[in-house]
Amino acid sequence: MRRGAAFFDLDKTILAKSSALAFARPFYRGGLLGRSDVMRSAYAQFVYLISGADHDQMEEMRAYMSALVSGWEVETVRTIVADTIDSIVDPILYDEAVELMAEHRAAGREVVIISSSGTEIVEPIGARLGADLAVGTQMAIENGRYSGEILFYAYGPYKAVAMRDLAAENGYDLDASYAYTDSHTDLPMLEAVGHPVAVNPDAELRRVAGERGWPVLDFESKVSLRPSLDSTRSKAAAGVALGAVALGVAWYAARRSASH
């Protein structure tokens, strides 16, 4: 019996900021970024929050991040994320999003987070939030380091492709599924399900949602998960993500690259 799923974008939908840019300072302290990179990330965060990101900006960000992380040791990235996830994620987590995910779980729907941020960031956040699956952009790894090649870019139309593949693999009924995102660049994601919802939408998505009669939600409240998920448990959850969930996404990216 097929059941619906709830697909959530991450940045400005579940989190109030860009998840990738939010980790700029921990990466700087861990020796992965220089001061100029942190400043550029802070500016990019400001632009992202004020105006959202259009297609050209997302493509620029992809090229920039690809060149930036080339040569980074993957285990170092995973350790930094696991050690700092509480302090980074808790202050920017939308209470309304957490409640909405709980409502979908109670209704028997699996919760899937799909974000253009890297898997090493998206998966631990997904595990911390109790998501059933987390899909992010996946970089190729050679000898324990990022090569700079992007195997799968979880952005725009590729999100919809991933959703259809996941639906076929896991038995989701997309007509009975929900999707939540803030950006007009994710229109394919919204169009892939029977219940699209615009969350904190940019101007273009708000216009489209109005024309098509889609619900619009504006999240504002922040919530901390610390009372229910302490640091030890969240690190354990990150380990689970890097085990079970990461293997699933790695298989997915390999499957996509093999099909081209």
95 part of the active site: no
Which residue from 85, 73, 166, 159 is spatially nearest to 121, judged by alpha carbons?
Answer: 85
pLDDT at 101 over 50: yes
Residue 168's pLDDT is what? 94
Which residues are bridge partners to 199 per DSSP?
217
pLDDT single digits (tens) 13-36: 999 887 877 787 888 788 877 665
**Per annotation, catalytic residue among 9, 182, 186, 202:** 9
> How many structural domains is the chain composed of?
1
Find the CATH number of the domain harbouring 202.
3.40.50.1000
Determine the Cα–Cα distance for residues 221 and 29; give it in Å rounded to an integer. Answer: 29
Between 237 and 16, name the one with better pLDDT.
16
pLDDT (0 to 100) of residue 44: 52
pLDDT class of 69 with cuts at 50, 70, 90: confident
Rounded mean pLDDT, 85-105: 92
Q: What is the mean pLDDT of the chain?
A: 79
**Between residues 31 and 173, which one has the greater pLDDT?**
173
Structure tokens that stand for 228 in this block: 């229910």
Over 90: is that where the pLDDT of 169 sits? Answer: yes
Asked which of 40-44, 87-91, 169-173 is least confident by mean pLDDT, the reply is 40-44
Residue 73: which domain range? Answer: 5-258
Catalytic option among 11, 182, 186, 202: 11
Strand-pairing partners, residue 110, are 5
Active site residue 37: no
